[in-house]
A = this chain, B = another copy of it.
Amino acid sequence: MTRLTTLANGVRVVSHDMPHVATVAVGLHVDTGARLEDERTNGVAHLLEHMVFKGTATRSARRIAEEVEDVGGSINAYTARDMTVFHARLLADDLPLGLDLIADLVRNPRFDADELEREKAVVLQELGEARDTPDDIVFDHLQAAAYPGQALGRSILGDEASVAGLTEADLRDWLAVQYRAGSCIVAAAGRVDHEALVGLSERLFGDLPTGRRPDFVPAAFAPGVVHDRRRFEQAHLTLAAAAPGHRHPDNDAIALFTMAAGGGASSRLFQELREERGLAYSVYASTTPYADAGLFSVYLATAKKDAARAFDLAIDVLATCAHTLTPDELARAKAQVRAGLLMSLESPAGWAEFLARQLLAHDRLATPAELVARVDAVDLEQVRAAAGRLVAGPYAVADVGAAAVRRAA
């Protein structure tokens, strides 16, 4: 059973009870991220997420890790462009400990000066690792190509200069401005008692200042090009078309097109590029929706000599798929979306994330059955029409190690 309670100050508390499991997933999902930063503060959302683990008023960094691992649990966090999440996996009885730790992190961080300098070094290491992973960094380049000069186009990690310039005051400002009650969601799933979760949340977050974080600047898509000249074994290629935001009526149609075009082994891109021609090992499509805009994107890695051919072919395949999608392909995509949802909801972490993401995107909860019914109701013409708008381009493109995409774009 799913239950949602809004505290007096606006914090939303949502849970789904899975009585057959022995564990729980609990998280604090905050409606903020790198897209709320400006150029100077780029990386602050992520550095904040790191720094809160470096100690609170009553706990050292070591103590935080030990308390949760003493009971066999784990606690971690991630920062996205439009979301910051602190989450724990625990045996069911340890939920109060997990949520208390999360609250302590975001309510009482110490922000010790020495720790700040040390953690900046860790973030630079993380940046180095990202740059060493071409199939990761190429998506940062793609964001920069699609949203030049905008917050959505910048790296979540920041860069050497922006990270170096961040101060304790930036961190404190970020917390005060972004972590408002109306932007915070406590989500739990697994063996969980909703009333107890609400009581706990009231005690830990009931005095968070009301209100929501400021609005962000609307995104403006551009068909930019970013080329990373570093040499790897393969050329890593991406392209992106402007897609609509979270609440747009085309979104189910676009999700189905994404699945049919590049979602699995039967998809057009996989069949044409990998199975028919052996041009790639990895090739897939995905969609990243934000509140006001989104990206439909394709990634492929190929031998450098084949880069231009593979890239041109991918664009052709997308265009052809949009115009020739068959009823069988649509039915298959629907089955994949349905089963994928069902499978993701078999784990506590999957359920908790499902709840929080819906509240962040839609400010309301739909049941899995409602979502499935909505997907089932999409017809072929709707998918072809929405896909036709996507593949009409123009595309933003980015690559690591392949000058060829300049021509293809």
Within 8 A of B (CB), among A270-325: 270-271, 274-282, 301-303
Q: Which positions 54-105 of chain A face chain B at CB distance < 8 Å? A: 54, 61-62, 64-66, 69-75, 89-91
Kindly state whether residue A249 has any CB partner on chain B within 8 Å: no
Contact across chains for B129 and A282 when beta carbons are under 8 A apart: yes
Kindly report which residue of chain B lies nearest to residue A271, judged by CB atoms: B62
Assess the B20–A234 pair: CB atoms within 8 A.
Answer: no
Interfacial chain B residues near A91, Cβ < 8 Å: 339, 342
Question: Given A91-B339, A118-B278, A134-B132, do A234 and B125 touch, yes or no (CB 8 Å)?
Answer: yes
Q: Is A331 engaged at the interface, CB distance under 8 Å to the other chain?
A: yes
Assembly CA distance A216 to B399 (angstroms):
43
Could you tell me the distance between the alpha carbons of A236 and B131 in the complex, rounded to whole angstroms?
13
Chain A contacts with B in 119-171, Cβ cutoff 8 A? 119-129, 131-135
Interface centre among A72, A264, A270 (most CB of B within 10 A): A72
Residues from chain B with a CB closer than 8 A to the CB of A117 are: 278
**Contact string, A339-358, partner B, CB cutoff 8 A, digits 1/0?**
11011001110000000000
How many copies of this chain sit in the oligomeric assembly? 2
Of all chain B residues, the one with the shortest Cβ separation from A283 is: B125
Q: Is the CB of A126 within 8 A of B266?
A: no
Chain B: minimal CB distance from A313 (Å): 14
Q: Does A336 contact B (CB under 8 A)?
A: yes
Report yes or no: B281 in contact with A125, Cβ–Cβ below 8 A: yes
> Is A370 in contact with chain B by the CB < 8 A criterion?
no
Q: Tell me the dominant secondary structure on chain A's binding face.
A: helix
**Contact B278 A128, beta carbon cutoff 8 Å:** no
A265 near B119 with CB under 8 A, answer no
Residues of chain B contacted by A238 (CB below 8 angstroms)? none
Interface pair A129/B301, CB less than 8 Å apart: yes
Q: Nearest chain B CB to A111's CB is how many angstroms away? A: 15
Instruction: Report the bound CA distance from A301 to B125 in whole Å.
Output: 8
A215 proximal to B (CB < 8 A):
no
Is A403 part of the contact surface with B, judged by Cβ < 8 Å? no
- CA of A233 to CA of B136 in the docked complex: distance in angstroms? 14
A69 to B339, CA, bound (A): 10
Given contacts A89-B343, A135-B129, contact A281 B122 (CB under 8 A): yes
Q: Is the Cβ of B72 less than 8 Å from the Cβ of A339?
A: yes
The 11 sampled A-B contact pairs (Cβ below 8 Å) are A21-B346, A23-B342, A23-B346, A69-B264, A70-B328, A72-B337, A90-B339, A118-B277, A129-B233, A132-B134, A346-B348
